[in-house]
Amino acid sequence: MKVKFNQQNVALPISDELIALLTKVMTSKQLSPTNATDITFNFRDDSYDPELGGYHPVEIRLVSVNEQWHFDYISDFCYVGSGFNTELTKEIDFDFTNDVGFQLYSGHHKLAALSELFQLWQSNFIQYVEQDIFNISTSTS
Distance between CA atoms of 35 and 39, rounded to whole angstroms? 10
% of the chain surpassing 70 pLDDT? 99
Residue 2 lies in a domain: no
Domain with 42, as residue range(s), is 16-140
- CATH of residue 90: 3.10.450.430
Residue 131 lies in a domain: yes
Residue 7 lies in a domain: no
Q: Is 38 exposed, middle or buried (0-12, 13-18, 19+ CB in 10 A)?
A: middle
Enumerate residues 6+ apart whose C-beta is below 8 A from 111: 11, 12, 94, 95, 96, 99, 100, 101, 118
Residue 69 lies in a domain: yes
pTM: 0.95
Least confident of 34-38, 88-92, 131-135: 34-38
Residue 114 lies in a domain: yes
Closest CA to 118 of 68, 109, 55, 35: 109
Express each pLDDT in 42-99 by its tens digit: 999 999 999 999 999 999 999 999 889 999 999 999 999 988 899 999 999 999 999 9
Q: How many structural domains are present in the chain? A: 1
Residue 97 lies in a domain: yes
